[in-house]
Homo-oligomer: A and B are copies of this chain.
């Protein structure tokens, strides 16, 4: 993962795979935050939170600006757009599956309306 050849998507998805880091991104959506502000909501040590921020930086999801003794972070959403782009390829699949579910439910409903059930709906 630390491999230099690792793709941007690797870093992005890895960064997003941790709830602490996702929470930090949410926080950053409200505006620029210092490392201290980002760390505050969590019970873990300051150093641990700081490491999480570095993971976000490595994924280019956060940009840091040093101002005096505090480091100000802001959200950099471009990699999220890339991740979204990757996901969008599969959009038709989840639509399709939702459609299938809908069809099953419709069939179920019409079965009930007729007072007949052809067969059990598989779990």
Contact = CB atoms under 8 A, between A and B. Distances in A.
The DSSP consensus for interface residues of chain A is helix
Copies in the complex: 2
Contact of A17 (B10, B76, B80, B84): B10
Interface residues of A, number: 34
Contact of A84 (B1, B16, B26, B87): B87
A91 interface: yes
B94 A78 contact: yes
27 contacts: A1-B17, A7-B19, A9-B17, A9-B19, A10-B17, A13-B13, A13-B14, A13-B16, A13-B17, A14-B14, A14-B17, A16-B86, A17-B17, A29-B93, A75-B90, A75-B93, A76-B97, A77-B90, A77-B93, A77-B97, A80-B90, A81-B98, A84-B87, A84-B88, A84-B91, A84-B94, A87-B87
